[in-house]
Amino acid sequence: MTDLPGRRLLLVHAHPDDESINNGVTMARYAAEGAHVTLVTCTLGERGEVIPPELAHLSGAALGAHRRGELADAMHALGVDDFRLLGGPGRFTDSGMMGLSDNDEPGCLWQADVDAAAALLVDVIREVRPQVLVTYDPNGGYGHPDHIQAHRIAMRAVELAAEAGCPVAKVYWNRVPRSHVEDAFARLRDELPGSPFEKAAEIEDVPGVVDDERITTAIHGEGTAHASAKAAAMRAHATQITVAEPYFVLSNDLAQPLLTTEYYELVRGERGDGDGDDGGRESDLFAGVAAAPGSGAAS
């Protein structure tokens, strides 16, 4: 790959749909601004629960293949051309929810050797040379084994890439400030009777909720084309998500807010200048990072 733009963003996720729910606005914004956005998805979500009755027959490899198509449609909605599967299709499979026998299946991501999987991600880092990487916190946001493992792989890859002379300047974890999600759920409870959904989720069902002071960065999308792109990307993952803006449900049929401002915690690198109108939070993941000359694969 040659002649990459000066700003390069890498996101590491566990399954198709995680990227759109967590980072759809962010991905759409930077793609629209001309940054190179790379998504690495670790599995095809072969053990996901399917929502539409007409697709309920899909499971295992067939579901994975279908979700790969959904991922392509979601990336088209976000304007992202560079999306990959860690190690190629089928290298790692969905591990299922924590504590199930699925976690013990050979070939699932939970059973992967972290250093070996991280080396595959280092290959991407060497090619793309991102200044910014986004992934989950150590609990994977909500404790799913694939999310936890994706975090471990991403963080180890950053270490290995630095040792190989390809440092990543900034690393962020997906977060949601508690005050923001509390306000969003209060609106949801008021508006639920007029929505197509019957029950609301709880704040605890939202991955990555933390106290407000841990938030370093906010990417605002409310009322923008980036928010519309996020909703479209989430709709593309029809086996997993039902969207009725400004809310959505997963397979548990519990409504939650579709967040059009996406929040992050900077955990590696220097914090850039903050926005005085947003409590000093960064409004740009690349804040403080000089755009690098366009470049291609490392030698």
Domains identified in the chain and CATH numbers: 8-177+207-234+260-268 (3.40.50.10320)
pTM of the predicted protein model: 0.95
Give residues with Cβ within 8 angstroms of 101, minimum separation 6: none
pLDDT value at position 279?
78
What residue has token string 């860690």? 86
- 82 assigned binding-site residue: no
How high is the mean pLDDT in each 10-residue block of the chain (299 residues)?
Answer: 85 98 98 98 98 97 98 98 97 97 97 98 98 98 98 98 98 98 97 96 97 98 97 98 98 97 98 82 94 52
Q: How far is CA 56 from CA 43, 48, 60, 62, 145, in A?
A: 20, 11, 12, 11, 24
Pairing of strands 247-249, 254-257: antiparallel
Is residue 237 part of an annotated ligand binding site?
Answer: no
Residue 278: per-residue pLDDT: 80
| Rounded Cα distance, 32 and 203, in Å | 31
Position 298 scores a pLDDT of: 41
Residue pair 178/145 in contact (Cβ under 8 Å)? The answer is no
Cα atoms found within 13 Å of the Cα of residue 101, Cβ hemisphere only: 0
18 is in an annotated binding site: yes
Q: Is 161 helix (H, G, I), strand (E, B) or coil?
A: helix
Token pair in block for residue 52:
């539409």
